[in-house]
Amino acid sequence: MNNKPYKRVLLKLSGEALMGNDSFGINRSTISNITSEISKVFDLGIEIAIVIGGGNIFRGVAPGAQGMDRATADYMGMMATIMNALALQDSLKCIGVDARVQSALNIDQVVEPYIRPKALRYLEEGKIVIFAAGTGNPFFTTDTAAALRGAEIGAEIVLKATKVDGIYSSDPKKDPSATKYSNICFDEVIVRRIEVMDATAFALCRDHNLPINVFSIYKENALKRVVSGENEGTLVHI
């Protein structure tokens, strides 16, 4: 297990994390708190890339998307991630953190396309890179995009930011006796079908020996403790 600070990390941030207590959309106070936590890590000199989901935006149109072709709905979800990425970039800018958005879908008037060498250069220059639009392909989740981009940029770990502070033996909201794992191996997570990330993302990280840490983005300084190599959340490893 790592007990040293990481140098380059990939943060997977769900769209739902931006909602706060709202039913959908972006809660300004919540996104400000999240960017504050990110800035604490940025100030340590750690290179940060972020993959963001779009569930909070898409949730507002989900009733109208029922029965829609899956590929079409997935493309709508990808565009929702671009909206979230722009909101996150703006929130970071407001606190003096330089961030760039790269999209797997080409919308040149709004964001630049994903180009791996340019993303690496931004990280080396001390900028945060936000990856939007998932992998650019339907049927693949933003969790899988996080695993893919993490491998592509040479991240040392994927940080899965959630509303809970780790992986439990059962749903802690329904089962008060649920126990939290401090660490668990990829094979066990896949066999037991633990749904904190999809199986494709877990398998991709396992195949590239890319550990995952599941933690609560709402817990103050939790992100900072994770990247500093402290025991926080649940570590998924080979």
Cα–Cα distance for residue pair 182/202, rounded to 1 Å: 17
Among the listed residues 73, 76, 77, 91, the one whose alpha carbon sits nearest the alpha carbon of residue 130: 91
The mean pLDDT of 177-196, rounded to a whole number, is 92
Binding-site annotation, residues for ATP: 12-15, 55, 59, 162, 168, 171
pLDDT in tens, 127-143: 999 999 999 999 999 99
Binding-site annotation, residues: 12-15, 54-55, 59, 74, 135-142, 162, 168, 171
Q: Which two tokens stand for residue 152?
A: 């592509």
Query: What percent of the chain is predicted at pLDDT more than 90?
Result: 80
Per-residue pLDDT, 174: 86
Among the listed residues 122, 80, 117, 78, the one whose alpha carbon sits nearest the alpha carbon of residue 101: 122
Binding-site annotation, residues for UMP: 54, 74, 135-142
Cα–Cα distance for residue pair 233/163, rounded to 1 Å: 11
Q: Is the pLDDT of residue 104 over 90?
A: yes
Q: Is the pLDDT of residue 91 over 70?
A: yes
Cα–Cα distance for residue pair 11/223, rounded to 1 Å: 9
Among the listed residues 41, 52, 45, 51, the one whose alpha carbon sits nearest the alpha carbon of residue 227: 41
Q: Which two tokens stand for residue 8?
A: 């380059």
Beta strands in the chain (DSSP E): 8-13, 47-52, 99-103, 112-113, 128-132, 157-162, 183-185, 212-216, 234-237
Q: What is the CA radius of gyration of the chain?
A: 17
Per-residue pLDDT, 1: 57
The mean pLDDT of 42-54, rounded to a whole number, is 96
Q: Which of 70-74, 216-220, 225-229 comes out lowest in average pLDDT?
A: 70-74
Cα–Cα distance for residue pair 49/217, rounded to 1 Å: 15
**Domains, the chain, with CATH or none:** 8-237 (3.40.1160.10)
Q: What is the dihedral of CA 63, 64, 65, 68, to 10 degrees?
A: 130
The mean pLDDT of 87-91, rounded to a whole number, is 97
Cα–Cα distance for residue pair 18/28, rounded to 1 Å: 8
Residue for token pair 């398998």: 203
212-216 and 234-237 as β-strands: parallel, antiparallel, unpaired? antiparallel
